[in-house]
């Protein structure tokens, strides 16, 4: 027998919750959390200069292009590109010495950044405040969810309510239900 909604709650079906949920905000916040600057990634990989972060990022970008054992000129060319990306991030000015990464390079840089953070043991923290339904009961709530490892990387590639429900309600019979609605704030970042 299902319980009656408590004061301030309202009962809601799973289909209604899915239809009314603020999925656009969830997708937008996941997109922002999955966006990395080249400078951040270079710092994560050891830092510029003697730290070797520029070289490591250049090697990963070349490997993505199918060049597993690059020549010295290929590696130095890609390292120059990484330095140009960082210069563009610092100045915001396009020139022969600075330019933004293209769409494919940007996607690869974001993927490298996310994978690097996951390998470093960082957790993806999702904070939600406002009108939220859990297991069919909608009310004002404050929820914190932490995802780590492959779950965090998978969520950033495909943000969805079911992943959050599974993390918030582990072992729920028949799968958990968790949705946020218009007026709720959703913040997603690595911690």
DSSP string for residues in 3-40: PPPPTT-EE--HHHHHHHS-HHHHHHHHHHHT---HHH
Task: Please compute the mean of the pLDDT values over residues 7-26 and round it to a whole number.
Answer: 68
Residue 66: its pLDDT value, please? 93
Q: Is 20 strand, coil or helix? A: helix
Longest dimension (CA), the chain: 71
- What percent of the chain clears pLDDT 90, i.e. is strictly above it? 30
Residue 72 has, within 13 A of its CA and on its CB side, a CA count of 0
CB atoms within 10 A of CB 176: 18
Least confident of 21-30, 89-98, 111-120, 177-186: 21-30
Task: Please compute the mean of the pLDDT values over residues 97-122 and round it to a whole number.
Answer: 87
How does residue 1 score in pLDDT terms, banded at 50, 70 and 90?
very low
Cα(124)–Cα(118) distance, integer angstroms: 9
Query: Which residue from 30, 22, 77 is spatially nearest to 54, judged by alpha carbons?
Result: 77
pTM of this structure: 0.71
């Amino acid at each position: 027998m299902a319980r009656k909604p408590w004061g301030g709650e309202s009962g809601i079906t799973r289909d209604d919750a899915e239809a009314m949920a603020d999925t656009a905000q969830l997708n937008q916040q996941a997109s922002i959390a999955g966006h990395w600057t080249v400078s951040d990634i270079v710092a994560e990989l050891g830092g510029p200069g003697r730290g070797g972060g520029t070289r490591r990022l250049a090697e990963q970008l070349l490997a993505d292009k199918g060049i597993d054992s690059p020549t010295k000129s290929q590696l130095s060319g890609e390292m120059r590109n990484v330095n140009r990306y960082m210069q563009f991030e610092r100045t915001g000015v396009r020139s022969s010495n600075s330019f933004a990464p293209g769409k494919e390079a940007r996607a690869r840089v974001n993927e490298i950044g996310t994978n690097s953070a996951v390998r470093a043991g960082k957790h993806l923290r999702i904070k939600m405040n406002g009108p939220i339904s859990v297991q069919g009961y909608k009310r004002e709530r404050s929820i914190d969810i932490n995802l780590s490892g492959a779950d965090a990387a998978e969520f950033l590639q495909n943000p969805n309510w079911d992943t959050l429900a599974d993390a918030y309600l582990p072992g729920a019979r028949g799968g958990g239900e968790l949705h946020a609605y218009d007026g709720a704030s959703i913040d997603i970042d690595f911690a």
